[in-house]
Structure 1
Amino acid sequence: MKAKIVRIGNSQGVRIPRALLESARLRGDIEMSIVDDGILLSPVFEPDSGLSLLFMSQSALSDWEKPEEDAAWAGLQ
């Protein structure tokens, strides 16, 4: 896909079509790096995004809700 470098204020940029951004999962913050023959744009993933999904899942917490464990703890008090 070809694109033109355009003037944006005092800078220059490239307009990236929405379909391409969605396909590459690019939104919000991105990481830019220079590679041998161009510029590489990569998505920045938040380090806790997977953990928040895990904690939101009720099935992940079901192991903590066992009546036999409650009885065992009650005997220790």
Structure 2
Amino acid sequence: MAQVIQIGNSKGIRIPQAIIKQTGLEHKELQFKVVPEGLLITPLQQLRQDWALQVDAALAGQSDSADTDWLDVDLTEAAQADEQQQW
């Protein structure tokens, strides 16, 4: 099992390699959460880490360019047009 060990002036947790591989924690940044049962260790979720690649891949799969015309709109001009429009 895992053990708390001395590392310099700090404490560390020595986790067996088999558990690291089984849980997919190898080469990951970890986050710790104190729960009533003890300590929960999970990989840090980096939101939107590769979202730009995913969007590009999704757009590359589309054949109709009409669906993507809105991506080329200059939002600055659109915002100014809305301000000038009288209701």
When the two structures are superposed, what TM-score results if normalisation uses the length of structure 1?
0.60
Q: How do 1:10-29 residues align onto structure 2 when only pairs under 5 Å count?
A: 10-26=9-25, 27-29=27-29
Offset of 1:4 from its aligned partner?
A: 2.4
Matched to 1:9, the amino acid is G
Q: 1: CA distance between counterparts of 2:47 and 2:2?
A: 32
In structure 2, relative to structure 1, the CA distance for the partners of 1:52 and 1:20 (3 Å cut) is farther
Name the % identity.
25
Secondary structure of the corresponding residue to residue 42 of structure 1: strand
User: Normalised by the size of structure 2, how large is the TM-score?
Assistant: 0.54
User: What's the C-alpha RMSD, in Å, of the aligned pairs?
Assistant: 2.6
User: Gaps spanning 5+ residues in structure 1: where?
Assistant: 70-77
For residues 42 and 2 of structure 2, the distance between their equivalents in structure 1, rounded to whole angstroms, comes to: 18
Provide runs of 4+ in structure 1 moved above 6 Å: none
What is the Cα deviation at residue 53 of structure 1? 4.8
Question: Are the structure 2 counterparts of residues 56 and 18 from structure 1 closer, same or farther at C-alpha, using a change threshold of 3 Å?
Answer: farther
Q: How many residues align?
A: 65
Tell me the CA shift for residue 39 of structure 1.
0.5
SS at match of 1:13: strand
Question: What are the ranges of 5 or more consecutive residues in structure 2 without an aligned counterpart?
Answer: 67-87
* Structural mapping, 1:1-77, within 5 Å: 2-26=1-25, 27-49=27-49, 51-55=51-55, 57=57, 60-63=59-62, 65=63
